[in-house]
Amino acid sequence: MSSASRHRSESLAPALAGLGALFVGLGLGRFAYTPLLPALVTAGWFTPGEAAGLGAANLIAYLAGAAVARPLGRAIPLPPLMRGAMLATAASLAACGLRPGIATFHVLRALAGATGGVLMVLGPPSLLASVPAARRGRVGGIMFAGVGIGIVAASSILPVLLRAGVRAAWHGLAAAALVFALIGWRGWPPAPPPPPPHDSPAARPLRRLVLAYGVNAIPVVPHMILFSDYVARGLDAGVAAGSAAFVLYGIGAAAGPLVGGWIGDRLGFRRTLDLAVIVQTAAILLPALVRTMPAAFVSAVIVGSLTPGIPPLVLNRAAEIAGPAGAARFWRAATIAFAVGQAAGAWATASAFARIEAHPPLFVAAAVVAALSLAMLPRDAARRA
C-alpha cells in the first residue's frame, strides 16, 4: 500500500467517527427540534411558550456540556464517553416520543443539549490530533458536514414522518441517531491530547481567535432565523419559495465544510479562514443590495455553507498556531463563545425585527459584524503541524 493510500485509510475511521458524532449531537440532538417545533404546538403537545422554553433548555444544557467536557474527558476514556453520549442522545429522542410530562421533557431536551456540547468539544480536536497534518482539512470537513447533513435529513424526513404523527417523528429521529452512532462507533483515540501550559506563546493569538469566532457567530443568525420569511414575505415570493431557500441553505451546510477543508489543506488555514469570512460578509450583505430571487438563493447557499464551514477552519487554524494540543484546549472556550454569540445574535435579531419589521437593515448590520470578526482574526504565522 502506498503512503497516500495508507494515510487515506488511517483518516477514514476518524472522519466517520466525527461525522457520526456531530450528526447525532448537533444535527439531530440540537437542530432537528426547530422544524419539529410547529408540529408540537399544532398537535397540542405544548403551548408556544412551553415549546420555546424546551428549545432554551437545550441551548443552556449545551453550554453546560461544553463547560464540563474536558473534566469528563480526563475521568472517562474517550471511546466509551463518546459512544455513551451518542447513545444517550438517541435515547432522549426516543423517550420524547413517549410524550412524558413537561418537566421530564425539559430533562430530555437538556440531556440532548449536554451530550451535544460534550461531543462538540471533545470530538473534533481529539480526532484531528490523530490524523496526518496534510489531511486535517478534509477530515475536519467530513466531520463538520455531519451537522449540515443532519439538518438536511431532519428537514427532509420530518414532513414524511409527521404524517404518522409527532410520536413517529421523534422515534424516526431516534432511529436515525442510532444508525449514525453506529457509523461513528470506531476511530476514537484513547484520550484527548494533553493540553499545553496556559502561558504558551500561542495563548494570545488563541484568545483573539476565540473572540473572533464568538463574534462571527452573531452575523449568521438573521439568515438562520429570518431568511425563509425574507424570501416569502420580503420578496413576496410565497411560502414555497421560502421553503426552497431553506433547503438550499441546508444543502450548503452539508457541502461547505467539505469544500472548505479541501481548500484549507492546499492554501493553509490562515488564508482560507480569511477568504471564508470575506465571502461570508459579501453573501450576508447581498440580499440587502440585490433584492431578487437569484441573489437570495445564492446568499442562502453561501451563508448556509459557511455557517458549519467556518468552525473546522477555525479549529485547524488553532492547530496551525499552537498544534493539536493547543487546539484542544482552545476548542472548549471557542465552542462556548460561539454558543453565547449565537444566543446574543438571536436576541438582537428578534428585538430589532420586532421594532423595524424589515429584513435588509438586519443583513447590513450582520455584514458589518462579520467584517468586524475578520479584523479580529490573529495574523500569527503557523508554528507547527
Say yes or no to pLDDT of 191 above 90: no
- Specify the DSSP class assigned to residue 234: I
Q: Nearest to residue 10, comparing CAs of 97, 121, 131, 175?
A: 131
Q: For residues 156 and 102, what is the distance between their CA atoms, to the nearest angstrom?
A: 27
Cell numbers linked to 66: 461544553
CATH 1.20.1250.20 range(s) for the chain read 1-192, 197-385
3-state secondary structure of 309: helix
What CATH topology corresponds to 197-385? Growth Hormone; Chain: A; (1.20.1250)
The tens digit of pLDDT for each residue in 230-249 reads 888 889 888 678 778 878 88
Q: For residues 146 and 152, what is the distance between their CA atoms, to the nearest angstrom?
A: 10
Higher pLDDT, 107 or 193: 107
Q: Nearest to residue 126, comparing CAs of 177, 192, 82, 183?
A: 192
Q: Which bin fits 238, alpha (ψ -120 to 50), beta or left (φ > 0)?
A: left
Report the pLDDT averaged over residues 183-191.
90
Helices in the chain by DSSP H: which ranges?
3-22, 33-42, 48-75, 78-96, 102-128, 136-161, 166-183, 203-216, 221-229, 239-267, 269-289, 293-356, 360-376
Q: Tell me the torsion sign for CA atoms 301, 304, 308, 309.
A: positive
Q: In whole angstroms, how large is the CA radius of gyration of the chain?
A: 20
Average pLDDT in the chain: 87
Tell the residue number behind the cell numbers 457567530, with chain if given.
217
pTM above 0.85, yes or no: no
Helix axes 360-376 and 293-356, enclosed angle (nearest 10): 100
Say yes or no to pLDDT of 201 above 80: no
Given a contact cutoff of 8 angstroms between Cβ atoms, the answer to whether 382 and 316 are in contact is: no
Please state which CATH class domain 1-192 belongs to.
mainly alpha
Helix axes 166-183 and 3-22, enclosed angle (nearest 10): 150
Question: Would you give the distance in Å from CA 64 to the centre of its chain?
Answer: 16
